[in-house]
Amino acid sequence: MEDTDGIREELGLVQIYTGNGKGKTTAAFGLAMRAAGRGLGVLIVQFLKPSDGYGEQVACNRMGNITLVSMGLDHFVSKKPSDADIEAAHKALRRSEELICSGRYDVAVLDESINAVRLGLITSQELIESLERRPDHVEIVLTGRGMTPDLEEYADLVTEMRLVKHPFDKGIGARKGIEY
């Protein structure tokens, strides 16, 4: 059995995976799997993805030791979000704070939370204020395009995925098991 108390003493940072390149969610889920493998409580809240249709959701349901909560509606949010989109993002923010503060989790991934900020569904200040209320030991991972300067300043680690080349450019669409 892993000594999770010793591991928890080193947690509490905020990480951001951002940029126009592929791999933000993939990197966050890799970290989540690593943490779960070490016996840590892992929470993943998906801000913009619906509750079915994504391979990572299927995998987490099979694992049983990662809690995944998908709060997105059944459509992609456009540049002009609806009131329902805004309410769903605020609901995701409230739910993530409630779960993070429950004491059950050591690592929390807020997938697409930065996109929610970029699209104007929530503000970066609302996100930061919510994270400030978490227990000190909870490690946070935020993903999405369009990181704001205040989120960059708030974070302890920022990794930017840079798009160099993508199969979409050759007309290859999203593939099940690879992009979703």
Task: Give residue-wise pLDDT tens across range 75-133.
Answer: 878 778 899 999 999 999 999 999 999 999 999 999 999 999 999 999 999 999 999 99
Distance CA 49, CA 66 (A): 17
The arrangement of strands across the sheet holding 157-160 comes to 66-70, 42-46, 107-111, 139-143, 14-18, 157-160
Phi, psi of 109 (to 5 degrees): -105, 125
Distance CA 39, CA 152 (A): 29
Q: Does pLDDT of 149 surpass 60?
A: yes
Q: Does pLDDT of 154 surpass 60?
A: yes
Distance CA 104, CA 107 (A): 10
Residue type, 111: D
pTM value surpassing 0.85: yes
Confidence class for position 62, pLDDT limits 50, 70, 90: confident
